[in-house]
């Protein structure tokens, strides 16, 4: 793989079902921690489009009512499975389904109240974004 030349923009999606529960995944990319679905923004793609696409690819869920939560900088963090420089753009979204169909990036999933999620083993970036979401929504 070629050496990275620029930071990579990525999206993360906090998907909420009709009961207000948050979808969290367990992935080999973040061993031992819960994360959210997400991935790279493709060349020529708007970040909102990337969020919808990544949610569908990784969970099989259709999402709507995208709302920007926060962005974070990830610079060669040893917690990740490969050393890269990413910029995370995190969104909250809703879905009408709880029928998750995982692709090969996640092994398990749970639906959980966002406040309860803070009691789980989360990667630091997911934790920061959940806290930002709770603060922004007046629940934290």
The reported pLDDT for the residue numbered 138 is 83
Class of domain 8-136: alpha beta
Per-residue pLDDT, 140? 64
Report the pLDDT value the prediction gives residue 9, as an integer from 0 to 100: 97
Rounded to whole angstroms, the Cα distance separating 84 from 63 reads 28
pLDDT number for residue 27: 86
Q: Is the pLDDT of residue 29 over 60?
A: yes
Q: What pLDDT sits at residue 47?
A: 98
Judged against a pLDDT cut of 90, whether residue 83 lies above it is answered with: no
Distances, alpha carbon 19 to alpha carbons 48, 67, 94, 134, in Å:
23, 18, 10, 16
pLDDT at position 136 over 80: yes
CA–CA separation, 114 vs 121, rounded Å?
13
Flag whether pLDDT at 2 surpasses 80.
Answer: no
Helix (H, G, I), strand (E, B) or coil at 101: coil
Would you state the pLDDT for residue 3?
83
Instruction: Please state the separation of Cα 32 from the chain's center in Å.
Output: 16
Q: Kindly list the domain boundaries of the chain, sorted by start residue.
A: 8-136
Q: What percent of the chain has pLDDT over 90?
A: 79
Contact 14, 89 (CB under 8 A): no
Residue by residue, DSSP assigns 13-73 as EEEE-TTSPEEEEE-TTSTTSEE--EEEPPTT--HHHHHHHHHHHHH----EEEEEEEEEE
pTM, two decimal places: 0.92
Smallest Cα–Cα separation from 7: which of 81, 83, 84?
84
Mean pLDDT in residue range 68-72: 95
Smallest CA-to-CA distance from 35 within 96, 81, 67 is with 81
């Amino acid at each position: 793989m070629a050496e990275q030349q620029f930071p990579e923009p990525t999206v993360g999606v906090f998907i909420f079902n009709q009961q207000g529960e948050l979808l969290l995944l367990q992935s080999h990319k973040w061993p031992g921690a819960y994360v959210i679905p997400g991935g790279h923004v493709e060349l020529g793609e708007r970040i909102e489009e990337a969020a919808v696409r990544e949610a569908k690819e990784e969970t099989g869920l259709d999402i709507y009512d995208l709302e920007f939560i926060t962005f974070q900088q990830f610079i060669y963090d040893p917690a990740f499975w490969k050393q890269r420089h990413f910029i995370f753009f995190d969104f909250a979204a809703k879905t009408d389904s709880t029928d998750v169909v995982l692709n090969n990036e996640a092994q398990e999933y749970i639906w959980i109240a966002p406040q309860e999620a803070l009691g789980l083993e989360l990667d630091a970036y997911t934790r920061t974004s959940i806290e930002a979401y709770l603060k922004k929504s007046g629940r934290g």
